[in-house]
Amino acid sequence: MPISLDMTGATDTDVRISTSPLAEFGSAWHVLVADHHPEHADWAAQVWAKLPAGVTDALADWSFAVSAVRAALLADPTLVTGSGWSEQVAWIRRMPPKDFAASVLRPLARRRGRAGDVGDATVRAHVRSLARARGPRARRTVTLVLDEPEAARDAFADLLDQAWTSFFAREWGSAAPRLGEEASARSAMRDRDGWSRALSRLSPAVRVDAAAGRIVVDKVQNKRLAVAGRGLVLVPTVLGSGHLYVADEPGRPVVVHYPVPSPASAAGSRSTLRRLNVLAHPARLEVCRAIAVEPRSAREIARLWGMAESTVTKHLSALRAVGLVHSERAGHYVRYSLDERVITGLGPDLLDVLRR
C-alpha cells in the first residue's frame, strides 16, 4: 500500500529542502475550507471572522484547488519562480493562460493518478462534469478557467494578493522563521551525512531504508517513484499538520510536504487494515462482545455463544495476533480481554491513514 521512493542512482544533491510562501498558503487555504483539522479549528474561525466578504467568497469559489489533490502551483515550489510572495504572484500573472489552466485544474483533470491535458475535449468534458458535481461555485469558476483562462489567471492572482493583505502576511511572518530553520537544519544534515540522514525523523509515517536505497511513505496508495533524474523536494509546513502530502507529476520532481513539528506517532496503514479485516468476521465481533466487559476463557465464550471451543480459540488467536485482545493465565485456564485502548483508537487511526 505505501509509496516507495526509489533512491537508486540518486545523489545527495537530488534532495532539496525548500520553503515557499505559496506552498504554505496552499496548506492554510486547505485548513480554512476543510472541516477535518480540529487542531487548527480556532485559528480558522478567527481568520474567517476577520476576512472581507469578497475574499471569503473567492476562497470558497476556488477551493477545488486545495482539496485532496492540489493545484500544481500550490504543490510544487520549484514550479513557481521567486522566493518571496510578490515575486511568486508576479510570476503567476505572467503565466501563459493555458499553463495556468493546466496547473490550477490539476485536482480535477487527473485520471488514474496522472495529469490530463485540459486542451483535450474529453478531459475538458470530464473536468466540467466533476465541477458540476462539486456545486455551483466550482462550476462557475472552472467554466471561467476553461473558457477564459487569462481572466481566470488574473482573478486568481488578485485573490492571492487580497489574501496576503487580509491575513496571510501575518501568518507567513510567523511561520517563515520556523520553516527556514527546519530547512537549514535538514540541508546541513544532507551536506554532512547524506540524504538518508536528511530524511530521518521526517515523520513517523516515513521510513528510510538506506541499505535498500528507498524511502517508504505510509499512505493508502501503491506507487514506486524513481528519484534519480527527477529529484526530491521536501517542503516543511506548519499549517499542513495532519497530512503527509506527496505530489507526483511527470517531468517534475517528487514533492513531499511534511509537518513541522513532526507528530509523535502515526497510525500504520497495514496494521489498521489488518485489524479491520479481522473484525470484519461476524463471529469475531461476537467473541469481542463476550470479552468487552470482563475477561473470559475460550470455553466460557464457546458455551455463551454456542460455538465449538476450537473455533473460539482460532478467533481469539486472530484477534490477539493484531493486538485487539490480551490474554492472561488463571490456573489451568487462559482468560482473554479486549484491549479497549486499541479498539477505541481504530476510528481515529483509520481517519489518520485515510487523510494522511
Domain hosting 123: range is 3-259
CA angle 183, 189, 194 (to 5 degrees): 120
* Phi/psi of residue 327, nearest 5 degrees: -130, 150
- Tell me whether residue 84 is in a domain: yes
Between 169 and 82, where is the model more confident?
A: 169
Asked if 198 and 143 sit in the same domain, the reply is yes
Among 97, 79, 98, smallest CA distance to 88 is for: 79
Which DSSP symbol is given to 293?
Answer: S
- Tell me whether residue 264 is in a domain: no
> What is this structure's pTM?
0.86
Asked if 7 and 100 sit in the same domain, the reply is yes
- Tell me whether residue 97 is in a domain: yes
Q: Return the percentage of the chain with pLDDT > 90, whole number.
A: 83
Q: Return the percentage of the chain with pLDDT > 70, whole number.
A: 99
Asked if 241 and 300 sit in the same domain, the reply is no
User: How high is the pLDDT of residue 355?
Assistant: 83
What mean pLDDT comes out for the span 137-144? 97
Q: Which residues of 202-232 are buried (b: 16+ CB within 10 A; e: fewer)?
A: bbebbbbeeeebbbebbbeeeeebebeebbb
Asked if 160 and 196 sit in the same domain, the reply is yes
Residue in the structure block whose three cell numbers are 534532495: 15
233 grid coordinates: 523536494
- Tell me whether residue 104 is in a domain: yes
287: confidence class by pLDDT, cuts 50, 70, 90: very high
Count of beta carbons in the 10 Å neighbourhood of residue 318: 18
What mean pLDDT comes out for the span 205-230? 94
- Tell me whether residue 9 is in a domain: yes
User: How high is the pLDDT of residue 145?
Assistant: 98
Mean pLDDT, all residues of the chain: 94
Boundary-marking domain end, from 259, 289, 316: 259
250: confidence class by pLDDT, cuts 50, 70, 90: confident
- Tell me whether residue 305 is in a domain: yes
Boundary-marking domain end, from 203, 235, 259: 259
Asked if 75 and 133 sit in the same domain, the reply is yes
Count of beta carbons in the 10 Å neighbourhood of residue 61: 19
User: How high is the pLDDT of residue 108?
Assistant: 94
Helix, strand, or coil here: 252? Answer: coil
Question: Based on the structure, what is the number of domains in the chain?
Answer: 2
State the burial class of residue 113 (Cβ atoms within 10 Å of its Cβ: 0-12, 13-18, 19+): exposed
* Phi/psi of residue 135, nearest 5 degrees: 115, 175
CATH number at residue 277: 1.10.10.10
Asked if 335 and 223 sit in the same domain, the reply is no
Helix, strand, or coil here: 66? Answer: strand
